[in-house]
Structure 1
Amino acid sequence: MNNALLTQFDLHQRLYNNVLDGFTDEETNQRLYGDQKINHVKYLAGHLLNSQYGLAMIAGLDPQLKWNDLFAVMGHSEAKDDIEYPDIKEIKSEWNQLYEPTRDGLKELTPEILNQVPPTPFNQVAETVGELWAFINHHTSYHIGQIGILRRAFGKPPMSFD
């Protein structure tokens, strides 16, 4: 199980960077179809970063959660308008700095750790740490896809898979 989850983790590293490629900071703060309250790119990118902190914790790291009040998981945040968000480059940089140490820790997870019950509130979405990792991978794919759709709505080319 660990190899398939790690393969997805690596894929998400590449796709996260690719899907955000070419956006200006200003664009990432814009909601398209504002009256529909569709999340803006920056919120989605930051929310994914917050989920990445969860994977870092699973991997045995103790990351400093930046901007948790803006991007918290489990329904504890939402996209906001007319507030100051961190620059998209800062969000991407934080994501990229987490990648290697998180990957190293995830690679070392034993079946015993993967079969443990995740901490509250994550036990609401998964019965084991391995299932939580799979859930976070799916969550990441889902939101990368949302950003991919927004790319097209902004008139940008499709996300590269290279």
Structure 2
Amino acid sequence: MKNAMLTQFDLHQQLYNNVLDGFSDAESNRRLHGNRQMNHVKYLAGHLLDSQYGLALIAGVDVTPRWQELFAGRGQSEARDDAPYPELEDIKTEWNSLYKPVRQGLSSIAPQELNSTPPKPFDQVARSTGELWAFINHHVAYHIGQIGILRRGFGKESMQYT
């Protein structure tokens, strides 16, 4: 199970960067067609970063989450218009800085740790740390897909997989 989860984690690293490629900061902060029911790319990118912080917690990586008031998960934030969001490049830099330490921590998780109860408040969405990791992987893939659709809506090429 762990090797498959690590393979997904590695793929998400590549796809996160690929799906955001070519977005200007201004574009990433604009809703497609002004539709207030749709999140903008920058919110989704930051929300995905918040998921990485969850994986860092599982992996035992000591990190201080940034921009929590803007991107917190579990219904604690929502996309805002005209908000003081960080630059898209800063969000991507933070995401990329987490990759190696989080991957190292995830790769060293013992099987009994994957079967343990996840840390609070994540125990409300998963019964075990392994289930939480699977949930976060799915969550990341889902939002990368949303950004992929927004790419096309903004007239950009499809996301590259390589």
For the criterion TM > 0.5, the same-fold answer is yes
SS of equivalent residue, structure 2 residue 4 = helix
Q: How does 1:51-66 map to 2 (within 5 A)?
A: 51-66=51-66
Deviation of 1:140 (Å): 0.1
Matched, 1:12 2:9: no
The residue identity in structure 2 corresponding to 1:161 is: Y
Determine the structure 2 residue equivalent to 1:37: 37
Distance 1:152 1:142 in 2: 16
Determine the structure 1 residue equivalent to 2:143: 143
SS of equivalent residue, structure 2 residue 30 = coil
Determine the structure 2 residue equivalent to 1:48: 48
Same amino acid, percent of matched pairs: 65
Distance 1:137 1:83 in 2: 28
SS of equivalent residue, structure 1 residue 105 = helix
The residue identity in structure 2 corresponding to 1:97 is: S
Q: Indicate the larger mover: 132-141 or 55-64.
A: 55-64
The residue identity in structure 2 corresponding to 1:114 is: L
The residue identity in structure 2 corresponding to 1:118 is: P
Deviation of 1:123 (Å): 1.4
Aligned CA-pair RMSD:
0.8
Q: TM-score, normalised by structure 1?
A: 0.98
Q: 1:155 to 1:9 in 2, by over 3 A?
A: same
The residue identity in structure 2 corresponding to 1:101 is: P
1:88-128 CA-to-partner distances (Å, cap 9, x unmatched) read 00000000000000000000000111011112221121100
Q: How does 1:45-124 map to 2 (within 5 A)?
A: 45-124=45-124
Q: Which runs of 5+ in 2 are unaligned?
A: none
SS of equivalent residue, structure 1 residue 33 = helix
The residue identity in structure 2 corresponding to 1:77 is: S
Aligned residue-pair number? 162
1:34-80 CA-to-partner distances (Å, cap 9, x unmatched) read 24420000000000000001101111011111000000011110000
Matched, 1:156 2:156: yes
Q: Which runs of 5+ in 1 are unaligned?
A: none
Distance 1:123 1:42 in 2: 28
The residue identity in structure 2 corresponding to 1:137 is: N
Deviation of 1:84 (Å): 1.3
Q: Indicate the larger mover: 116-125 or 74-83.
A: 116-125
Matched, 1:131 2:146: no
The residue identity in structure 1 corresponding to 2:33 is: Y
Distance 1:6 1:139 in 2: 15
